[in-house]
Amino acid sequence: MPRLALLATGGTIAGTGDPQHYQAAVLDADTLFASVPALREIADWHIEQIFQLDSRDLQPGHWLQLAERISALQADPGIDGIVITHGTDTLEETAFALHLLLPLGKPVVLTAAMRPSDAPDADGPGNLLQAARVAATPAAAAHGVVVVASAHIIAGADLIKAHTSRVDALRCRAGSEPIGHVATEHINIRPALARSLRHALPWSTLGILPRVDILYGCAGVSADLPGLCATAGAQGLVLALSGHGSIPEAWRSGLQTLMEQGIAVVRATRITEGGVGNNCNEEDEIFGSLPAGILSPQQARVLLILALAANPRGDLRSLFRLAGGASPY
């Protein structure tokens, strides 16, 4: 039997209650594990509660805490794979951070649920069992961090939460496909393609993670928002802009001043498909902002936080080009 580790972090998968009395992160790791007896038939287990939170309350420091613990478990010869239970709300950020931080090693599988553990149609037990089966499959390791939900195996860098309430809310971003599926006891996983980004940022030496804010673009943006964020301590800004990521006139001069002061500015889009490429409005390029490529605003923020912490004077432009890939436009 393989030996797997279960790291529990909270979320609805460990939540209880009907919609009026719902609470995330109630069941502890041992209780969650005991609620799915079939897990014992798949592997021997090491079980750990690493933190117990509703994922909306996670901080960037939790990404590092998880990366550190997973990395230690990967180095442990007595462990063959790692399953992490997590809330769905910020799962895409944790999945992307772990994708950036962890080198390839043993299978690392995140899973979650949309229905609390005591709901009649709870999806957590099935997702946890399927995640365990994937973590016990050595071929999963070649894909890096993956997410298992509703029988789909999704690359950590491709995950989005695409619905606020449907049970199949966790999906692949537009233009990408699951890397595999779980068919009862059978794991269909395609061979790993070379992925564009395997940075293994030097997280063990990261100091304090900088504040990076997301500013949402819309008709009639308030001109003072970028300056307010900077005054409050932001060292980077990610703009979730309309259209193809072109900066509204009201923000231009303020952003230019902030960039001259060393604050990094990344242009992402609030539109779900297409991304922001290098060849949009020349003025945006000239004054030094960076295109996010296909990264969502929240993914771009994860990358900017980690990149600024790892190397404040580093070449952010090539890092974003590598991570965000080419946008089709």
Residues that bind ligand SIN (CB under 6 A): 10-12, 24, 54-56, 87-89, 112, 114
Angle at 319 between CA 315 and CA 325, to 5 degrees: 145
As measured in angstroms, the least distance from the Cβ of 76 to ligand SIN is 27
CA-to-CA dists, residue 74 to 102, 108, 131, 153, 237, angstroms:
10, 9, 17, 20, 34
Indicate the SS3 state at residue 230: helix
Of 12, 88, 90, 94, which is the active-site residue?
12
Q: Which of 109, 128, 110, 121 is nearest to 165 (CA)?
A: 121
Q: Of the two residues 10 and 293, which places its CB atom closer to ligand SIN in the complex?
A: 10
Nearer to ligand SIN, 80 or 89 (CB): 89
Residue nearest to ligand SIN (CB): 87
CB closer to ligand SIN, 40 vs 56? 56
Cβ-Cβ contacts under 8 Å for 300 (sequence gap 6 or more): 238, 266, 268, 292, 320, 324
To ligand SIN, the closest distance from the beta carbon of 288 in angstroms equals 35
Query: Token pair 């960037």 is at which residue?
Result: 60
Distance in Å, CB of 145 to ligand SIN, minimum: 17
- Give burial (CB, 10 Å; 0-12/13-18/19+) of 260: exposed
Return the number of the residue (57 or 76) whose C-beta is nearest ligand SIN: 57
- Least distance between ligand SIN and beta carbon 193 (Å): 30
Closest distance to ligand SIN from the beta carbon of 91 (Å):
7
Q: Which residues contact 66 (CB under 8 A, 6 or more apart)?
A: 7, 9, 50, 84, 94, 98
Confirm whether 94 is a catalytic residue: no
What residues contact 130, with CB distance under 8 A and at least 6 apart?
111, 148, 151, 182
Q: Select 214 or 319, whichever has its Cβ closest to ligand SIN.
A: 214
Contact in structure between 273 and 303 (CB atoms under 8 Å) = no
* Pairing assessment for the beta strands 3-10 and 44-53 based on DSSP bridges: parallel
User: How is 198-222 classified by DSSP, letter by letter?
Assistant: -----GGG--SPPPEEEEE--TT--
Q: Where are the beta strands (DSSP E) in 26-111?
A: 44-53, 81-85, 108-111
Give me 217's structure tokens.
């673009």
C-beta of 92 vs 158, nearer to ligand SIN: 92
Q: Hey, which residues are catalytic here?
A: 12
